[in-house]
A and B are shown apart, each in its own frame.
Chain A
Amino acid sequence: MNSQTKKAAPTQEESAALDRLREQLVAEAAKHELVDISYRIVDSPIGRLLLAGTEAGLVRVAFETEGHEHILEVLAEKISPRILKNPRNFDRVAYQLEQYFDGTLHDFDLPLDLQLSTAFRRQVQLELGNIGYGQTRSYLQVAEHIGKPKAVRAVGSACATNPLPIVLPCHRVLRSDGSLGGYLGGLDVKTTLLRLENPSFAGSEQRLF
C-alpha cells in the first residue's frame, strides 16, 4: 500500500484554493448553524492564547503551555466535535484582552459559557469576577464570600479548573500566607498578571517553606 498519494504536498495553487474553500466553509457552516465551537488564537504578552466559544459565549481561554491542540480535543470530547477555526470571530474578546494587557481595561464585559464547570465550580468562578482589579484574596476568603468557609480545598480546585483564566481572574487568588498557590498558566504568568495590575506586587518572593 503506498501512502505517497496521501502525503503528496499541495502545490501553491492548491493551497490557495484550499484557503479560499476553507473560508467559504466556515461562513457556510455558520450560516447553517453547524458550528458548535469556533476558535481563534491570539498573541499576547504571556504567549499565544486560544479563545474558544459557543453560541452562548466564551467557553475556554487556554494558555499555550496547556497545548492548544489538546484543549481542542478535550472540547471535542466534552462539548462537540463540530469545531472550526474562525479568525474573524472573537474580535470583542481579542480587543478587550489587548486593552487588559495595555493596562487600560480593568473589567471584562463578555458573554461567558461556563458549561464545562459543575454548579459549585461555576459559583466560585463567577465569584472571581468580584475580586477587583489589582486586588487579591485568599482561597479562604473566596470560600467565605460564597458562604462556604469550609470549602477551601474545593475553591482551590474550582480556581485550578477555571476554563476562562484572565477573564475570570483566578490569578487574584493566593494562599492565606500570601504565597502564590497554583496557576494553570504557570506561576510566572500568575506573577506577571498580578504585577501588571499592581506594579508593587511582590508575592512571588514569598514561599510557603
Chain B
Amino acid sequence: MKAPFEQIVHDYGLNVLRVCRAVLDEHRAQDAWSETFLSALKAYPKLADDANVLAWLVRIAHRKAIDELRRQRPEVSWEQLPEEAEETSDPAQSAVDNLQLWQQVGLLPEKQRLVVAYRYLGGLDYAQIAQILCGSEAAARRAASDGIRKLRAMNLNNEYFQELS
C-alpha cells in the first residue's frame, strides 16, 4: 500500500533539500528540489510498493542536479561562505553552521561532493550510491572518505559526519 504523497514530502523533503544544497548553489538547489518532487509526484502511482522511496527521490534529484551541473558549474566560492561562527548556541546560529556545511560540501570535487551528499545528507548506503553514479561500491566508499577527510581539513566539526568507520 502506498502512502499519500503528502507523507512522502513530509518524510523526505529535508533529505532532498540537503542533497540539492550540497550539490548546487542555493537558487538552483531550490529549483532542483521543486523539479524533483514534481517529477516524483508524476511517477508516484507507478512506483513499486516496496521501493526504497528515499533512494528513488535522491536518484531523481541526482538527475536534476546533473542537468544543472552540465549547464554550469556551481556558483559557490570561498567568498560566499558565512563569517566564522560565534560561540553561541541560538537556533539562528546553527542554521548558519548548516549553511556553511552545505557550502563546504559544495567545494569538494564533483564525485566526492555527490557521494558525500547522497551518503550523509540523503541517507543512502554505498550500494545505492554506486548504482546512481554507475560506479562500484568500493569507489563510492573511497570517494566519501576522501571527501570527509577534506571537509575535516576545512576545520569542519559537524555532527552529520560523525559516522566514520
Contact = CB atoms under 8 A, between A and B. Distances in A.
Interface of A: 1-6, 8, 10-14, 17-18, 21-22, 24-25, 28-29, 32, 34-35, 37, 39, 72-73, 75-77, 80-85
B162 A22 contact: no
B107 interface: no
Contacts of A21: 13, 17, 30, 33-34, 37
B159 A8 contact: yes
Contact of B34 (A25, A72, A73): A25
B38 A18 contact: no
Interchain residue pairs A-B with the least CB separation, the first 5: A13-B95, A83-B4, A6-B123, A11-B95, A81-B2
B41 interface: yes
Given A14-B17, A24-B34, A73 B162 contact: no
B134 interface: no
Given A4-B162, A29-B41, A11 B91 contact: yes
A28 B13 contact: no
A162 B108 CA distance: 58
Q: Chain B at the A interface: mostly helix, strand, loop or mixed?
A: helix
A34 B44 CA distance: 10
A12 B38 CA distance: 24
A18 B98 CA distance: 15
Given A72-B4, A73-B4, A77-B1, 14 more contacts: A3-B123, A5-B120, A11-B98, A21-B17, A21-B30, A22-B13, A25-B9, A25-B38, A37-B4, A39-B6, A76-B1, A77-B2, A83-B6, A85-B6
A12 B95 contact: yes
